[in-house]
Structure 1
Amino acid sequence: MADRKRARASRLSARDWADAALAAIRDGGLAAVAVEPLAARLGTTKGSFYWHFSGRDALVTAALERWEERETEAVIAEIGQAGTPEERLRRLFRITTAAAAREPDPLELALLADAGHPAVAAAFRRVTHRRIAYLVDLFAEHGCPPAEARQRALLAYTGYLGHAQLARSVPGTLPEGEEARSYLESVLQALLRGGRQAR
């Protein structure tokens, strides 16, 4: 048994620990990130943790970086470079509004509850700036001047946040099925109107 635990500990990566920390945050908030319970969850010892991290704060930082990677960079990578800016914006809206309309993401809700923590606040700032910058780039490629691209990006992002909040707080308010597709199309048409690519 001890040999199996040692073998498992040697195979665990920093990413495994970060993912376990994210699962703990999802289930119990930032306070749930504790080395011994995580070691038990992973079937290993604290020694594996200290192989990868200097302490709990370093693990929290790694977990937040992993969340950024999964929820922002992976989505941007999924959109890719193929197609026109309008096609990429449409893909982005389909992915993000579909995700927002599903069950509330307990991890994001838990992180929002701990948004006063300096590391969490910094992660939300980075994610927000990255997402808006990506939207600015897409609207600029669509033909909008810089100031207008930023305005449209902010409008798109605040619309996304409002959509997600409404889906969480008052389920059933947002349209579904064909009505949802028509609604999303009207939002996209308003955001895309007037760019050089649309002329």
Structure 2
Amino acid sequence: METHIAPETGWRGSREGWLEAGYQALIDSGIDAVKILPLARQLNLSRTSFYWFFEDREALLTALIDGWEARTTRPFVAATREYADSQAEAMLNVLACFLSGVFDARLEFAVRSWALQDGKVAARIEAADETRLGALRDMLVRWGHGEQEADVRARTIYLTQIGYISMRAREELETRLARIPTYVEIYTGQRPEPRELARFNARFMSQPGARPGSAP
């Protein structure tokens, strides 16, 4: 059955609407699905409406990759700088970024897949990896680790997390929370205090049925 396309005049949608449609196509089906005509059909808009908001498809892709930075790297770096009473709590802040879904794991997976066929995107991924690792190193140095040790610990934390995302690992929330104290101890050398774990767990247990974005 033919999909209706809106006429050339009338409602043209919005930049945010086109971006959201592109985002959904990217995370659901990959970069090859992010094309103007299919998105127009999905939005029930004319193809030419797209050009009121973007110069071309490349401009949409650039906006999507910028959005990826905003949904992943920025909250990750912010989490490494959150206030904490101890090193263990600082690490809990980082893990909470992933467990709460603030870090968009589905988008991260899609962009890393996209990078396999696009050198420019691969370069953005490489730069983001360095930024994230640097933020983790800085956090660990602030808590007393030497530069080399902080670097190795940061890589252990970060590469484990990216491995979870790349493998699309799925765990029940209760299982994840039960593993958190050991993860924190391995990552930092310090086991979280019961009060710190209670605060951490309360972030998630207060939301019945919530499903975090990815494992730690």
Q: Relative to structure 2, which stretch is displaced further, 179-188 or 126-135?
A: 179-188
RMSD of Structure 2 on Structure 1 (CA): 3.2
Match of residue 128 from structure 2: 127
- 2:31–2:114 contact (8 Å) kept in structure 1: yes
Deviation of residue 156 (structure 1)? Answer: 1.0
Match of residue 97 from structure 2: 95
Counting matched residue pairs gives: 181
Q: String of CA shifts for 1:107-135, please: whole Å, max 9, x gaps.
A: 44443333221233123223212221211
CA distance in 2, matches of 1:32, 1:165: 20
SS of match in other structure, 2:10: helix
Q: String of CA shifts for 1:81-132, please: whole Å, max 9, x gaps.
A: 3224622321211332565xxxx95544443333221233123223212221
- 2:80–2:135 contact (8 Å) kept in structure 1: no
- 1:25–1:33 contact (8 Å) kept in structure 2: yes
- 2:7–2:46 contact (8 Å) kept in structure 1: no
Deviation of residue 75 (structure 1)? Answer: 4.2
Q: Equivalent pairs: percent with the same residue?
A: 25
Deviation of residue 60 (structure 1)? Answer: 0.9
- 1:97–1:163 contact (8 Å) kept in structure 2: no
The answer to whether 1:191 aligns with 2:193 is no
SS of match in other structure, 1:144: coil
CA distance in 2, matches of 1:47, 1:73: 33
What stretches of structure 1 of length at least 5 have no aligned partner?
195-199
CA distance in 2, matches of 1:7, 1:77: 38
CA distance in 2, matches of 1:143, 1:79: 15
SS of match in other structure, 1:6: coil
- 1:85–1:141 contact (8 Å) kept in structure 2: no
Match of residue 10 from structure 2: 6
Q: Residues 122, 16 of structure 1: CA spacing in aligned structure 2 closer, same or farther, 3 A cutoff?
A: farther
Match of residue 59 from structure 1: 60
Which residue identity lines up with residue 187 of structure 2 in the other structure? L
Deviation of residue 166 (structure 1)? Answer: 5.4
CA distance in 2, matches of 1:6, 1:77: 42
CA distance in 2, matches of 1:94, 1:74: 11
Which residue identity lines up with residue 115 of structure 1 in the other structure? A
- 2:81–2:139 contact (8 Å) kept in structure 1: no
CA distance in 2, matches of 1:6, 1:75: 41
Which residue identity lines up with residue 111 of structure 1 in the other structure? V
Which residue identity lines up with residue 39 of structure 1 in the other structure? A
The TM-score, its normalising length taken from structure 1, stands at 0.72
Deviation of residue 188 (structure 1)? Answer: 1.2
Q: String of CA shifts for 1:129-171, please: whole Å, max 9, x gaps.
A: 2221211121121122223222211111112223445553xx5
Aligned residue runs from structure 1 range 109-124, under 5 A? 109-116=109-116, 117-124=118-125
Deviation of residue 40 (structure 1)? Answer: 2.8
More helix by share: 1
